[in-house]
Amino acid sequence: MSETSKQTSSFDAAIKACRRYLMEKDNRFDRGPSYEGDGSVLGSVKQTVRMYEGMGYTKLMELGDPPIYAVLARGHREVHVFQPQDPKVRDWLEHDETTLNDPALRAYMLEKSGLKESDLPVADKPRHFHINEVDDVYIATTDDPD
């Protein structure tokens, strides 16, 4: 296997693990406000990660070159920063009338990840994610624990 194939395989496995984690049963997704600037407020995942690190968050993972996905945390609060590469997923995220917990969206994400509903555990601690768009970057944050 070539070095490029190994990197692609590792990248795909990491994305699959992230999707599996996010899609655990009982997790919920809600849409937050979108912020449209001039395209330079948060124009990339890398720029957004630097901003969150400046607020005291620790980067746990960053995928891609340039990065298209990153996870940060501060205490028990998680931040997932991403730029969807799939046009269908981007379309769902951009249209306010789409319910992010829609079974069709869930089925599509599972299929794209090579997962089945039976592959997903019930979340030990169900998370409630709020997804906001800032320019071309999406930010999913969890509620602070009670």
pLDDT of residue 5: 57
- pLDDT band with cut points at 50, 70 and 90 for residue 12: confident
**Separation of alpha carbons 86 and 99, rounded Å:** 17
pLDDT in tens, 69-97: 999 999 989 999 999 989 998 888 888 77
Kindly report the pTM of this predicted structure.
0.84
CA angle 54, 10, 142 (to 5 degrees): 40
- Residue where the block lists tokens 């789409």: 98
**Separation of alpha carbons 6 and 93, rounded Å:** 31
Domain locations in the chain? 3-142
**Separation of alpha carbons 57 and 73, rounded Å:** 5
